Homo-oligomer: A and B are copies of this chain.
Amino acid sequence: MDTRLDRDASNCSIARTLEVVGEKWTILILREVWYGSSRFGDFERVLGCPRNLLAARLRMLVEEGILATETYKEPGSRSRPKYVITPKGMDLVPAVMGLLQWGDRYRADPEGPAMLTRHRGCGAPVDAQIRCERGHAVHAEDIESVPGPAFRMKAAE
């Protein structure tokens, strides 16, 4: 007899996001798209990712609507596919900025980061931060997590 009064952790937005972007290479592919890559060969060369995994990840990202395919044509060659980011993909930027920022703080080279991110136009460095709807900057310790509409408990076994 075992009364498990635990929160049902399968019903979680973090876990569900990780189902899409949690596999190896996926976030690094997106990073390369942000940095300007768009072709199969670009990703392969810069990332050193195996071709079959690269093909599988790109296919999945397109199916999920995070990337979309377009075509390009080099003079003297036939049309080939390229990959561009969609608005749904752009919405992953805050999460990846958070990872970037943590790495810059705790795992960068002694000289500093390899890439800097700036606000285009104003030129000032950018960072990911947490704000509440009223515009206050929120410290991580001041975030309160409360059950939402889809909150469920685990079934007893």
Contact = CB atoms under 8 A, between A and B. Distances in A.
Interface of A: 4, 6-9, 11-22, 24, 27-28, 31-32, 34-35, 45-48, 88, 90-109, 111-122, 124-134, 136, 138, 140-152, 154
B97 A126 contact: no
A14 to B, nearest CB: 5
A31 B16 CA distance: 13
Contact of A133 (B93, B97, B121, B125): B125
Could you tell me the dominant secondary structure of chain A's interface residues? mixed
Best-buried of A47, A99, A152 by chain B (most CB within 10 Å): A99
A105 to B, nearest CB: 6
B18 A99 contact: yes
Contacts of A108: 13, 16, 150
Given A21-B99, A124-B132, 18 more contacts: A13-B99, A14-B27, A16-B108, A19-B107, A93-B98, A94-B129, A95-B95, A97-B143, A112-B150, A115-B151, A116-B148, A117-B146, A119-B132, A119-B144, A124-B134, A125-B133, A128-B128, A129-B130
